[in-house]
Structure 1
């Protein structure tokens, strides 16, 4: 069983997957920062200075000592609410990530198509070969 596990781990696909997961995690951090620190402030500015990350709909009662407008404090206190601003941010983050992955896959597909080996020149067809064999047998 240990040998099978070693063979499984030694396969290129498993190593590639591990590298992909690690790079994907780091890349998700970058796209999260791009969304939260660059894109959402611009979107907020376009909509008149609105900070989408703290937009929510309150569903439950507010505990004493927690500000009714502090999304982070309300969330920490466990107040029932719909954080649609955080959801909008997550959707934009996903769209950015999906777009970048699409562009990467598209670029890789173009490189793979260019590097594809040229097909071998077509030789005589099966019919041509059989005709040639028949003709040779008739000569004998």
Structure 2
């Protein structure tokens, strides 16, 4: 019974909800960046260098090598159906995708930290704490002794 209670306390903490929201927003943000790379950046890179990285591969299986020798324009999906391929183009695209996503997250975190520092700098400094009860009592004793 204690395990269920502990799990309930863990699941209902505010941090757990924040984490869930962060994961959902992160997944949506990842989809946006994937689309940006796939649909906007890679076609421009392909035009500039006449390269479509996503379909670049090295045939590894004998069937694939024979098919590529007969027809060099076989796409990646067709080649995968025939046998093993080393899809380095897909890896390059995913790596570029990761780097851009990491840059976007870095810029968001940097902006957040900058705004937080600015907000903290705007707060007036806390007033110095007043004397403690002990200090007040000692002051009264001193004043009484001084009057004698």
TM bracket, shorter-chain basis: 0.7 to 0.9
- Which residue is equivalent to 1:45? 47
Q: 1:14 to 1:73 in 2, by over 3 A?
A: same
Aligned equivalents of 2:80, 2:124: Cα separation in 1: 60
More helix by share: 2
Offset at 1:42? Answer: 0.4
- Which residue is equivalent to 1:22? 24
Aligned equivalents of 2:67, 2:87: Cα separation in 1: 20
Partner of 1:119, secondary structure, is coil
| 1:25-50 Cα distance to aligned partner (Å, 9 max, x none) | 11111111111111001001110x22
- Which residue is equivalent to 2:77? 72
Aligned equivalents of 2:13, 2:62: Cα separation in 1: 55
- Which residue is equivalent to 1:9? 11
Q: 1:61 to 1:2 in 2, by over 3 A?
A: same
Partner of 1:4, secondary structure, is helix
Q: 1:10 to 1:138 in 2, by over 3 A?
A: same
Aligned equivalents of 1:73, 1:14: Cα separation in 2: 44
Counterpart of 1:139 (choices 134, 137, 146) is 146
Counterpart of 2:97 (choices 90, 93, 117) is 93
Aligned equivalents of 2:20, 2:81: Cα separation in 1: 34
Structure 1 runs (4+) deviating above 4 angstroms are 63-68, 135-138
Question: 5+ unaligned residues in a row in structure 1: which ranges?
Answer: none
Greater mean deviation of Cα atoms: 81-90 or 55-64: 55-64
- How many residues align? The count is 135
Q: Does 1:55 align with 2:42?
A: no
Q: 1:137 to 1:97 in 2, by over 3 A?
A: farther
Q: TM-score, normalised by structure 2?
A: 0.74
| RMSD across aligned positions (CA) | 2.9
Question: 5+ unaligned residues in a row in structure 2: which ranges?
Answer: none
Contact 2:60 2:83 in 1 (8 A): no
From the CA coordinates, give the structure whose radius of gyration is larger: 2
